Copies of this chain bind each other. A is one copy, B any other.
Amino acid sequence: MSIVKPSTLPGFMELLPQDQILFNEIRDIIKENYEKHGFLPIDTPVIEKSEVLLAKGGGETEKQIYRFEKGSTDMSLRFDLTVPLARYTVEHFNELSFPFKRYQIGKVYRGEKAQKGRFREFYQCDIDTIGNGELSLVNDAEIPVVIFHTFKDLGFSDFTIHINNRKILKGFFSSLNIEDSTDALRAVDKLEKIGEEAVIEELVASGIDEESAKKIIEFIKIDGSVDEVIESLRDLSIEDEIFKTGLSEITEVIGYIRDFGIDEESYKIDLKIARGLDYYTGTVYETTLDKYPEIGSVCSGGRYDNLASNYTDMVLPGVGISIGLSRLFYQLNEAKIIESENKSLFDLLIIPMDDCISEGIKLVSELREKKVRVDIYTEFAKLKKKFKFADQTAVPYVIVVGENEIKNRAYSLKNMKSGEQVEITFDELVEKFKG
Protein backbone atom coordinates (compact mmCIF):
# COMPACT_ATOMS: atom_id res chain seq x y z
CA MET A 1 0.00 0.00 0.00
CA SER A 2 1.34 3.44 -0.87
CA ILE A 3 1.62 6.00 1.88
CA VAL A 4 -0.12 9.36 1.48
CA LYS A 5 1.44 12.29 3.31
CA PRO A 6 -1.13 13.42 5.88
CA SER A 7 -1.83 17.14 5.88
CA THR A 8 -4.70 19.60 6.15
CA LEU A 9 -5.71 22.17 3.56
CA PRO A 10 -4.06 25.61 3.86
CA GLY A 11 -6.14 28.11 5.82
CA PHE A 12 -7.83 25.47 7.98
CA MET A 13 -7.20 25.82 11.69
CA GLU A 14 -6.49 22.65 13.62
CA LEU A 15 -5.39 22.68 17.25
CA LEU A 16 -3.46 20.36 19.50
CA PRO A 17 -5.46 19.02 22.45
CA GLN A 18 -4.14 21.56 24.99
CA ASP A 19 -5.05 24.45 22.70
CA GLN A 20 -8.37 22.79 21.96
CA ILE A 21 -9.18 22.62 25.68
CA LEU A 22 -8.55 26.35 25.93
CA PHE A 23 -10.52 27.05 22.76
CA ASN A 24 -13.47 25.05 24.10
CA GLU A 25 -13.35 26.88 27.44
CA ILE A 26 -13.70 30.17 25.60
CA ARG A 27 -16.48 28.80 23.40
CA ASP A 28 -18.33 27.51 26.47
CA ILE A 29 -18.12 30.87 28.25
CA ILE A 30 -19.59 32.56 25.18
CA LYS A 31 -22.33 29.93 24.98
CA GLU A 32 -23.21 30.21 28.67
CA ASN A 33 -23.51 33.98 28.44
CA TYR A 34 -25.65 33.78 25.32
CA GLU A 35 -27.97 31.30 27.02
CA LYS A 36 -28.07 33.20 30.30
CA HIS A 37 -29.44 36.21 28.42
CA GLY A 38 -32.26 34.30 26.80
CA PHE A 39 -30.83 33.38 23.41
CA LEU A 40 -32.00 29.96 22.24
CA PRO A 41 -29.72 27.53 20.40
CA ILE A 42 -30.18 26.62 16.76
CA ASP A 43 -27.91 24.52 14.56
CA THR A 44 -28.52 24.96 10.86
CA PRO A 45 -26.88 22.69 8.27
CA VAL A 46 -23.42 23.60 6.99
CA ILE A 47 -24.65 22.93 3.45
CA GLU A 48 -27.53 24.91 1.96
CA LYS A 49 -29.17 25.08 -1.45
CA SER A 50 -27.17 27.59 -3.52
CA GLU A 51 -30.31 29.35 -4.74
CA VAL A 52 -31.34 29.94 -1.13
CA LEU A 53 -27.94 30.83 0.28
CA LEU A 54 -27.06 33.12 -2.60
CA ALA A 55 -30.52 34.65 -3.03
CA LYS A 56 -29.08 38.09 -2.36
CA GLY A 57 -26.42 37.42 -4.97
CA GLY A 58 -23.42 39.28 -6.26
CA GLY A 59 -20.47 40.80 -4.54
CA GLU A 60 -17.18 39.64 -3.18
CA THR A 61 -18.83 36.94 -1.07
CA GLU A 62 -20.00 34.88 -4.01
CA LYS A 63 -16.45 34.36 -5.31
CA GLN A 64 -15.39 33.01 -1.94
CA ILE A 65 -18.19 30.47 -1.70
CA TYR A 66 -17.53 26.73 -1.61
CA ARG A 67 -20.15 25.78 -4.18
CA PHE A 68 -20.58 22.41 -5.86
CA GLU A 69 -23.04 19.99 -7.35
CA LYS A 70 -23.96 16.55 -6.11
CA GLY A 71 -26.30 14.67 -8.37
CA SER A 72 -28.29 17.48 -9.92
CA THR A 73 -28.34 19.61 -6.78
CA ASP A 74 -26.46 22.91 -6.63
CA MET A 75 -25.28 23.41 -3.06
CA SER A 76 -22.98 25.68 -1.08
CA LEU A 77 -21.30 25.81 2.30
CA ARG A 78 -22.60 28.66 4.48
CA PHE A 79 -20.33 31.71 4.60
CA ASP A 80 -21.95 33.26 7.66
CA LEU A 81 -24.69 32.46 10.16
CA THR A 82 -26.95 35.40 9.28
CA VAL A 83 -28.24 34.20 5.92
CA PRO A 84 -29.08 30.78 7.40
CA LEU A 85 -30.84 32.60 10.26
CA ALA A 86 -32.95 34.52 7.76
CA ARG A 87 -33.81 31.30 5.94
CA TYR A 88 -34.53 29.51 9.26
CA THR A 89 -36.74 32.30 10.63
CA VAL A 90 -38.93 32.39 7.54
CA GLU A 91 -39.04 28.61 7.05
CA HIS A 92 -40.08 27.97 10.67
CA PHE A 93 -41.93 31.24 11.17
CA ASN A 94 -45.15 29.67 12.41
CA GLU A 95 -43.37 27.56 14.98
CA LEU A 96 -41.27 30.35 16.50
CA SER A 97 -42.14 32.88 19.21
CA PHE A 98 -41.26 36.52 18.61
CA PRO A 99 -39.14 38.30 19.57
CA PHE A 100 -37.05 35.32 18.49
CA LYS A 101 -33.74 35.42 20.34
CA ARG A 102 -31.35 32.86 18.96
CA TYR A 103 -27.68 32.08 19.18
CA GLN A 104 -25.65 29.87 16.90
CA ILE A 105 -22.03 28.86 17.29
CA GLY A 106 -20.71 27.08 14.25
CA LYS A 107 -18.20 26.88 11.47
CA VAL A 108 -18.54 28.97 8.32
CA TYR A 109 -16.56 28.80 5.09
CA ARG A 110 -14.93 31.43 2.91
CA GLY A 111 -12.34 30.64 0.28
CA GLU A 112 -10.37 33.81 1.03
CA LYS A 113 -6.75 34.28 0.13
CA ALA A 114 -4.94 32.33 2.85
CA GLN A 115 -2.94 34.60 5.14
CA LYS A 116 -1.77 34.72 8.73
CA GLY A 117 -4.72 34.81 11.09
CA ARG A 118 -7.29 34.50 8.29
CA PHE A 119 -9.05 31.17 8.04
CA ARG A 120 -11.14 29.53 5.36
CA GLU A 121 -13.05 27.55 7.98
CA PHE A 122 -13.79 29.50 11.13
CA TYR A 123 -16.20 29.67 14.04
CA GLN A 124 -18.70 32.44 14.35
CA CYS A 125 -20.64 32.95 17.58
CA ASP A 126 -23.75 34.93 16.79
CA ILE A 127 -26.68 36.30 18.72
CA ASP A 128 -29.62 37.98 17.07
CA THR A 129 -33.03 39.09 18.25
CA ILE A 130 -35.65 39.11 15.52
CA GLY A 131 -38.95 40.92 15.81
CA ASN A 132 -42.17 40.21 13.96
CA GLY A 133 -42.95 43.57 12.34
CA GLU A 134 -41.37 45.61 15.13
CA LEU A 135 -38.73 45.26 17.80
CA SER A 136 -38.19 47.51 20.81
CA LEU A 137 -34.91 49.31 21.49
CA VAL A 138 -34.50 47.34 24.71
CA ASN A 139 -33.07 44.65 22.47
CA ASP A 140 -30.44 47.07 21.15
CA ALA A 141 -29.48 47.70 24.76
CA GLU A 142 -29.28 44.03 25.67
CA ILE A 143 -26.59 43.31 23.05
CA PRO A 144 -23.80 45.30 24.77
CA VAL A 145 -24.94 43.82 28.08
CA VAL A 146 -24.29 40.33 26.72
CA ILE A 147 -20.94 41.45 25.29
CA PHE A 148 -20.02 42.98 28.64
CA HIS A 149 -20.72 39.84 30.66
CA THR A 150 -19.11 37.59 28.06
CA PHE A 151 -15.82 39.48 27.96
CA LYS A 152 -15.80 39.89 31.75
CA ASP A 153 -16.24 36.14 32.11
CA LEU A 154 -13.49 35.60 29.55
CA GLY A 155 -11.21 37.40 31.99
CA PHE A 156 -10.83 40.75 30.27
CA SER A 157 -10.88 43.73 32.61
CA ASP A 158 -10.32 46.49 30.09
CA PHE A 159 -12.44 46.56 27.00
CA THR A 160 -14.67 49.13 25.38
CA ILE A 161 -17.94 48.60 23.61
CA HIS A 162 -18.25 51.36 21.02
CA ILE A 163 -21.85 52.23 20.28
CA ASN A 164 -23.17 54.45 17.54
CA ASN A 165 -26.32 54.85 15.49
CA ARG A 166 -26.14 54.95 11.71
CA LYS A 167 -29.08 57.37 11.64
CA ILE A 168 -26.99 59.96 13.49
CA LEU A 169 -24.31 59.79 10.80
CA LYS A 170 -26.79 59.59 7.97
CA GLY A 171 -28.80 62.51 9.33
CA PHE A 172 -25.70 64.57 9.86
CA PHE A 173 -24.54 63.88 6.29
CA SER A 174 -27.98 64.80 5.10
CA SER A 175 -27.77 68.12 6.99
CA LEU A 176 -24.64 68.76 4.89
CA ASN A 177 -26.67 67.93 1.77
CA ILE A 178 -24.89 64.60 1.28
CA GLU A 179 -27.79 62.39 0.32
CA ASP A 180 -26.04 59.14 -0.64
CA SER A 181 -24.03 58.44 2.47
CA THR A 182 -22.63 55.03 1.45
CA ASP A 183 -19.18 56.29 0.40
CA ALA A 184 -18.99 58.70 3.31
CA LEU A 185 -19.84 55.99 5.85
CA ARG A 186 -17.19 53.74 4.36
CA ALA A 187 -14.57 56.51 4.57
CA VAL A 188 -15.50 57.42 8.15
CA ASP A 189 -15.14 53.79 9.17
CA LYS A 190 -11.47 53.94 8.20
CA LEU A 191 -10.45 56.83 10.46
CA GLU A 192 -8.58 54.67 12.97
CA LYS A 193 -6.77 52.81 10.22
CA ILE A 194 -5.76 55.50 7.76
CA GLY A 195 -5.93 58.76 9.75
CA GLU A 196 -7.68 62.12 9.30
CA GLU A 197 -5.90 63.37 6.21
CA ALA A 198 -6.58 60.24 4.22
CA VAL A 199 -10.24 60.17 5.23
CA ILE A 200 -10.65 63.79 4.13
CA GLU A 201 -9.01 62.90 0.81
CA GLU A 202 -11.34 59.95 0.37
CA LEU A 203 -14.39 62.07 1.23
CA VAL A 204 -13.36 64.74 -1.25
CA ALA A 205 -12.66 62.10 -3.89
CA SER A 206 -16.23 60.83 -3.41
CA GLY A 207 -17.55 64.29 -4.35
CA ILE A 208 -17.88 65.99 -0.97
CA ASP A 209 -16.50 69.52 -0.69
CA GLU A 210 -13.53 70.04 1.56
CA GLU A 211 -15.38 72.18 4.07
CA SER A 212 -18.00 69.49 4.61
CA ALA A 213 -15.26 66.85 4.83
CA LYS A 214 -13.62 68.80 7.63
CA LYS A 215 -16.98 69.21 9.38
CA ILE A 216 -17.46 65.46 9.18
CA ILE A 217 -14.08 64.85 10.80
CA GLU A 218 -14.88 67.36 13.51
CA PHE A 219 -18.24 65.71 14.08
CA ILE A 220 -17.03 62.13 14.39
CA LYS A 221 -14.31 63.21 16.78
CA ILE A 222 -16.87 64.41 19.33
CA ASP A 223 -15.76 62.66 22.49
CA GLY A 224 -16.48 62.47 26.20
CA SER A 225 -18.72 60.55 28.56
CA VAL A 226 -21.94 59.11 27.21
CA ASP A 227 -23.89 62.05 28.64
CA GLU A 228 -21.40 64.60 27.30
CA VAL A 229 -21.60 63.17 23.77
CA ILE A 230 -25.40 63.20 23.84
CA GLU A 231 -25.26 66.78 25.15
CA SER A 232 -22.85 67.82 22.37
CA LEU A 233 -25.06 66.24 19.76
CA ARG A 234 -28.11 68.07 21.14
CA ASP A 235 -26.20 71.34 21.18
CA LEU A 236 -25.62 71.05 17.44
CA SER A 237 -29.37 71.70 17.01
CA ILE A 238 -29.46 69.79 13.73
CA GLU A 239 -32.98 69.83 12.38
CA ASP A 240 -32.69 66.77 10.15
CA GLU A 241 -35.41 64.23 11.05
CA ILE A 242 -33.18 61.17 10.62
CA PHE A 243 -30.54 62.76 12.83
CA LYS A 244 -33.13 63.50 15.49
CA THR A 245 -34.45 59.94 15.36
CA GLY A 246 -30.93 58.58 15.70
CA LEU A 247 -30.18 60.82 18.67
CA SER A 248 -33.44 59.87 20.33
CA GLU A 249 -32.75 56.16 19.72
CA ILE A 250 -29.25 56.19 21.13
CA THR A 251 -30.47 58.15 24.16
CA GLU A 252 -33.16 55.55 24.78
CA VAL A 253 -30.73 52.66 24.26
CA ILE A 254 -28.24 54.17 26.72
CA GLY A 255 -31.07 54.52 29.25
CA TYR A 256 -31.91 50.82 28.96
CA ILE A 257 -28.24 49.84 29.18
CA ARG A 258 -28.15 51.72 32.49
CA ASP A 259 -31.20 49.78 33.62
CA PHE A 260 -29.34 46.57 32.87
CA GLY A 261 -26.62 47.96 35.10
CA ILE A 262 -23.25 47.27 33.48
CA ASP A 263 -20.08 49.25 34.28
CA GLU A 264 -20.26 52.74 32.76
CA GLU A 265 -16.55 52.58 31.83
CA SER A 266 -17.12 49.56 29.62
CA TYR A 267 -19.00 51.38 26.86
CA LYS A 268 -19.04 54.70 25.06
CA ILE A 269 -20.73 56.49 22.22
CA ASP A 270 -18.25 56.52 19.35
CA LEU A 271 -19.39 58.47 16.30
CA LYS A 272 -16.49 57.04 14.27
CA ILE A 273 -18.10 53.60 14.23
CA ALA A 274 -20.03 53.19 10.99
CA ARG A 275 -19.68 49.48 10.12
CA GLY A 276 -18.99 49.02 6.43
CA LEU A 277 -22.03 46.90 5.68
CA ASP A 278 -24.95 48.81 4.20
CA TYR A 279 -27.07 46.19 5.91
CA TYR A 280 -27.17 48.07 9.23
CA THR A 281 -29.76 50.80 9.76
CA GLY A 282 -29.63 51.88 13.41
CA THR A 283 -27.50 51.02 16.43
CA VAL A 284 -24.04 49.65 15.58
CA TYR A 285 -21.41 48.11 17.84
CA GLU A 286 -17.71 47.37 17.88
CA THR A 287 -15.69 46.06 20.79
CA THR A 288 -12.00 46.65 21.39
CA LEU A 289 -9.57 45.38 23.99
CA ASP A 290 -8.08 48.54 25.51
CA LYS A 291 -4.59 47.10 25.90
CA TYR A 292 -4.53 45.53 22.45
CA PRO A 293 -5.91 48.08 20.00
CA GLU A 294 -3.96 46.40 17.17
CA ILE A 295 -6.36 43.44 17.32
CA GLY A 296 -9.21 45.67 16.16
CA SER A 297 -12.84 44.90 16.89
CA VAL A 298 -13.38 41.52 18.50
CA CYS A 299 -17.14 41.64 18.40
CA SER A 300 -19.28 43.69 16.03
CA GLY A 301 -22.83 44.02 14.86
CA GLY A 302 -25.86 46.20 14.78
CA ARG A 303 -29.53 46.77 14.09
CA TYR A 304 -31.09 46.03 10.70
CA ASP A 305 -34.55 46.93 9.44
CA ASN A 306 -35.27 43.74 7.64
CA LEU A 307 -33.60 40.37 8.03
CA ALA A 308 -35.14 38.28 5.32
CA SER A 309 -36.39 40.33 2.39
CA ASN A 310 -35.04 37.67 0.02
CA TYR A 311 -37.36 35.04 1.49
CA THR A 312 -40.53 36.86 2.52
CA ASP A 313 -42.63 40.00 2.25
CA MET A 314 -42.95 40.10 6.03
CA VAL A 315 -40.86 42.72 7.79
CA LEU A 316 -38.47 41.16 10.31
CA PRO A 317 -36.30 43.75 12.04
CA GLY A 318 -33.41 42.49 14.11
CA VAL A 319 -30.32 43.31 16.07
CA GLY A 320 -27.29 41.15 16.67
CA ILE A 321 -23.57 40.69 17.00
CA SER A 322 -20.98 38.14 16.06
CA ILE A 323 -17.73 37.03 17.65
CA GLY A 324 -15.29 35.62 15.09
CA LEU A 325 -13.96 33.04 17.50
CA SER A 326 -11.26 31.34 15.41
CA ARG A 327 -9.63 34.62 14.50
CA LEU A 328 -9.99 35.96 18.05
CA PHE A 329 -8.44 32.80 19.48
CA TYR A 330 -5.56 32.99 17.03
CA GLN A 331 -4.91 36.64 17.86
CA LEU A 332 -5.12 36.20 21.64
CA ASN A 333 -2.79 33.22 21.38
CA GLU A 334 -0.29 35.04 19.14
CA ALA A 335 -0.25 38.03 21.47
CA LYS A 336 0.18 35.64 24.42
CA ILE A 337 -2.91 37.10 26.08
CA ILE A 338 -4.09 33.55 26.62
CA GLU A 339 -1.91 30.60 27.47
CA SER A 340 -2.60 26.95 26.78
CA GLU A 341 0.65 25.53 28.08
CA ASN A 342 -0.73 24.25 31.34
CA LYS A 343 -4.11 23.18 30.07
CA SER A 344 -5.16 19.75 31.23
CA LEU A 345 -8.59 18.23 31.70
CA PHE A 346 -7.22 16.65 34.89
CA ASP A 347 -5.93 17.68 38.23
CA LEU A 348 -4.46 14.31 38.96
CA LEU A 349 -2.89 11.34 37.17
CA ILE A 350 -2.68 7.90 38.76
CA ILE A 351 0.44 5.97 37.75
CA PRO A 352 0.14 2.36 38.87
CA MET A 353 3.19 0.10 39.06
CA ASP A 354 2.93 -2.65 36.42
CA ASP A 355 1.70 -5.21 38.97
CA CYS A 356 -0.83 -2.82 40.50
CA ILE A 357 -2.86 -1.80 37.48
CA SER A 358 -6.09 -3.33 38.78
CA GLU A 359 -5.70 -1.47 42.05
CA GLY A 360 -4.96 1.72 40.16
CA ILE A 361 -8.15 1.28 38.16
CA LYS A 362 -10.14 0.80 41.36
CA LEU A 363 -8.65 3.96 42.82
CA VAL A 364 -9.34 6.05 39.71
CA SER A 365 -12.94 4.80 39.65
CA GLU A 366 -13.49 5.68 43.29
CA LEU A 367 -12.05 9.14 42.73
CA ARG A 368 -14.15 9.73 39.61
CA GLU A 369 -17.19 8.68 41.64
CA LYS A 370 -16.29 11.55 43.98
CA LYS A 371 -16.08 13.98 41.05
CA VAL A 372 -12.31 14.21 41.05
CA ARG A 373 -10.92 15.06 37.60
CA VAL A 374 -8.46 12.20 37.38
CA ASP A 375 -6.99 9.90 34.76
CA ILE A 376 -4.80 6.80 34.89
CA TYR A 377 -1.81 5.65 32.86
CA THR A 378 -2.48 1.99 32.11
CA GLU A 379 0.35 0.87 29.84
CA PHE A 380 3.00 -1.53 31.07
CA ALA A 381 6.21 0.49 31.04
CA LYS A 382 9.16 1.71 33.03
CA LEU A 383 8.34 4.37 35.62
CA LYS A 384 10.44 6.88 33.71
CA LYS A 385 8.22 6.51 30.64
CA LYS A 386 5.13 6.83 32.78
CA PHE A 387 6.37 10.11 34.24
CA LYS A 388 7.28 11.37 30.79
CA PHE A 389 3.61 10.95 29.88
CA ALA A 390 2.62 12.95 32.97
CA ASP A 391 5.02 15.72 31.95
CA GLN A 392 3.71 15.86 28.40
CA THR A 393 0.07 16.04 29.42
CA ALA A 394 0.67 18.97 31.80
CA VAL A 395 -1.27 17.27 34.59
CA PRO A 396 -0.44 19.19 37.81
CA TYR A 397 -0.37 16.26 40.29
CA VAL A 398 0.65 12.60 40.15
CA ILE A 399 0.26 9.62 42.47
CA VAL A 400 2.24 6.43 41.99
CA VAL A 401 0.32 3.37 43.16
CA GLY A 402 2.35 0.40 44.38
CA GLU A 403 1.88 -2.30 47.00
CA ASN A 404 2.46 -0.02 49.98
CA GLU A 405 -0.03 2.56 48.80
CA ILE A 406 -2.65 -0.14 48.31
CA LYS A 407 -2.05 -1.66 51.72
CA ASN A 408 -2.12 1.65 53.59
CA ARG A 409 -4.55 3.59 51.43
CA ALA A 410 -2.10 6.44 51.83
CA TYR A 411 -0.44 8.09 48.88
CA SER A 412 2.43 10.32 48.01
CA LEU A 413 1.06 13.24 46.03
CA LYS A 414 3.63 14.76 43.72
CA ASN A 415 3.33 18.35 42.53
CA MET A 416 4.69 18.11 38.99
CA LYS A 417 5.69 21.75 38.84
CA SER A 418 7.54 22.10 42.13
CA GLY A 419 8.54 18.45 42.50
CA GLU A 420 7.26 18.61 46.07
CA GLN A 421 5.70 15.46 47.54
CA VAL A 422 3.24 15.23 50.41
CA GLU A 423 1.61 12.22 52.08
CA ILE A 424 -2.14 12.16 51.63
CA THR A 425 -5.07 9.83 52.43
CA PHE A 426 -7.94 8.96 50.12
CA ASP A 427 -10.33 11.28 51.94
CA GLU A 428 -7.83 14.13 51.81
CA LEU A 429 -7.39 13.51 48.07
CA VAL A 430 -11.13 13.81 47.57
CA GLU A 431 -11.25 16.92 49.70
CA LYS A 432 -8.40 18.53 47.76
CA PHE A 433 -9.56 17.70 44.26
CA LYS A 434 -13.31 17.27 44.26
CA GLY A 435 -14.96 19.32 41.53
User: Which residues of A come within 8 Å of B, CB atoms?
Assistant: 1, 3-9, 12-17, 20-21, 23-24, 35-38, 40-49, 51-52, 55, 66, 68-71, 73, 75, 86-88, 90-92, 95-99, 101-102, 107, 109, 111, 121, 131, 134-136, 138-139, 141-142, 145, 255-256, 259-261, 308-313, 345-346, 357-359, 361-362, 365, 368, 373, 375-376, 378-380, 389, 392-393
CA distance A5 to B52 in the complex (A): 7
Q: Return A211 CB to nearest CB of chain B, in Å.
A: 38
A138: contacting residue among B131, B357, B373, CB under 8 A = B357
Q: Return A84 CB to nearest CB of chain B, in Å.
A: 9
B75 and A17 within 8 A (CB): no
A260 and B361 within 8 A (CB): yes
The residue on B at minimum CB distance from A10 is B73
Could you list 28 A-B pairs, sorted by A, with CB under 8 Å? A1-B309, A3-B310, A3-B311, A4-B51, A6-B52, A6-B87, A7-B49, A7-B87, A8-B44, A8-B45, A8-B87, A9-B47, A12-B45, A14-B42, A14-B45, A17-B40, A17-B96, A24-B41, A46-B121, A66-B68, A99-B378, A134-B379, A141-B361, A256-B358, A259-B358, A260-B361, A260-B362, A260-B365
A362: contacting residue among B5, B12, B261, B379, CB under 8 A = B261
A48 and B259 within 8 A (CB): no
A70 and B4 within 8 A (CB): no
Top 3 closest pairs, chain A to chain B, by CB: A68-B68, A38-B375, A138-B378
A111: contacting residue among B70, B102, B145, CB under 8 A = B70
A311: contacting residue among B6, B96, B141, B392, CB under 8 A = B6
A135: contacting residue among B7, B107, B379, B392, CB under 8 A = B379
A47 and B255 within 8 A (CB): no
B66 and A47 within 8 A (CB): yes
Chain B residues within an 8 Å CB radius of A8: 44-45, 48-49, 87, 91
Given the interface pairs A358-B255, A365-B261, the reply to whether A48 lies near B9 with Cβ below 8 Å is yes
Chain B residues within an 8 Å CB radius of A49: 7-9
CA distance A255 to B357 in the complex (A): 11
B38 and A345 within 8 A (CB): yes
B15 and A136 within 8 A (CB): no
Chain B residues within an 8 Å CB radius of A4: 51-52, 55, 310-311
Q: Return A359 CB to nearest CB of chain B, in Å.
A: 8
The residue on B at minimum CB distance from A55 is B4
B52 and A92 within 8 A (CB): no
A88 and B139 within 8 A (CB): no
Q: Return A262 CB to nearest CB of chain B, in Å.
A: 9
CA distance A131 to B389 in the complex (A): 12
B47 and A121 within 8 A (CB): yes
Chain B residues within an 8 Å CB radius of A392: 97
Chain B residues within an 8 Å CB radius of A91: 6-8
A345 and B375 within 8 A (CB): no
B1 and A15 within 8 A (CB): no
CA distance A392 to B38 in the complex (A): 14
CA distance A375 to B21 in the complex (A): 30
Chain B residues within an 8 Å CB radius of A261: 362, 365
Other than the given A6-B86, A20-B40, 15 more pairs (CB < 8 A) read A4-B311, A5-B311, A7-B49, A9-B45, A12-B47, A14-B45, A15-B42, A23-B43, A45-B121, A66-B68, A68-B69, A70-B111, A136-B378, A259-B358, A261-B365
